């Protein structure tokens, strides 16, 4: 990541945490396993915030944070991933489950859509890197 991109990323994290100080941790979603570095990326940064419903509500109302090139999803109670920008409802409900920490601050999880009408809701394994964590988040993702 270039110095300018790192500064932009740090500024984004500061804005997110300034808006929602109750976020427990922030994870940067890496490329999908198997797609390699040449896979198509829809977002400059794809983040998962472990947070409470109030933080999700505050993020949705903070329109100045909303960016088309950044996806922020909130993982609250359970495994449900909710779009912080509130515009992804048409893509179905996603879940993030089966978290495995491969190294400190790095892990994988299973991302899947809600099964429509009894289908199995098959998912894909994704990689994520912890980019910020609060004191309460030291238990790890999903705990």
The span from the CA of 64 to the CA of 110, in Å, is 31
pLDDT at 6: 78
With the CA atoms of 80, 83, 87 and 91 taken in that order, what torsion angle do they form, in degrees rounded to the nearest 10? -40
4 three-state secondary structure = helix
Angle between helices 53-61 and 3-19 (to 10 degrees): 120
Question: What ranges do the domains of the chain cover?
Answer: 3-134
pLDDT at 62: 95
* pTM for the structure as a whole: 0.81
With the CA atoms of 130, 94, 125 and 35 taken in that order, what torsion angle do they form, in degrees rounded to the nearest 10? -90
Written as six digits, the tokens of 7 are 């500064």
pLDDT at 34: 45
Residue 78 zone, left/alpha/beta (φ > 0; ψ -120 to 50; rest): left
Per-residue pLDDT of the chain (143 residues; tens, 9 = 90+): 777 777 899 999 999 999 999 999 999 998 644 455 555 667 899 999 999 999 999 999 999 999 999 999 999 878 889 999 976 554 556 889 988 888 889 989 999 986 554 445 578 899 999 999 987 645 555 55
Strands 106-113 and 94-103: antiparallel
In whole angstroms, how far apart are CA 4 and each of 1, 7, 8, 31?
8, 5, 6, 21
pLDDT at 78: 82
pLDDT at 33: 42
């Amino acid at each position: 990541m270039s110095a300018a991109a790192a500064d932009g990323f740090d500024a984004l994290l500061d804005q997110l945490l300034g808006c929602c100080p109750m976020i427990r941790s922030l994870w940067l979603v890496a490329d999908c396993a198997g797609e390699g570095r040449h896979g198509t990326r829809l977002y400059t940064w794809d983040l998962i915030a472990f947070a409470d419903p109030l933080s999700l509500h505050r993020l949705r109302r903070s329109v100045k944070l909303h960016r088309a090139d950044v996806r922020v999803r909130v993982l609250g109670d359970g495994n449900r991933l909710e779009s912080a920008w509130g515009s992804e409802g048409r893509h179905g409900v996603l879940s993030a489950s089966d978290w495995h920490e491969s190294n400190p601050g790095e892990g994988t999880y299973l991302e899947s859509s809600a099964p429509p009408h009894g289908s199995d809701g098959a998912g894909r394994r994704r990689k994520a890197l912890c980019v910020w964590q609060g004191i309460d988040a030291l238990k790890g993702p999903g705990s």
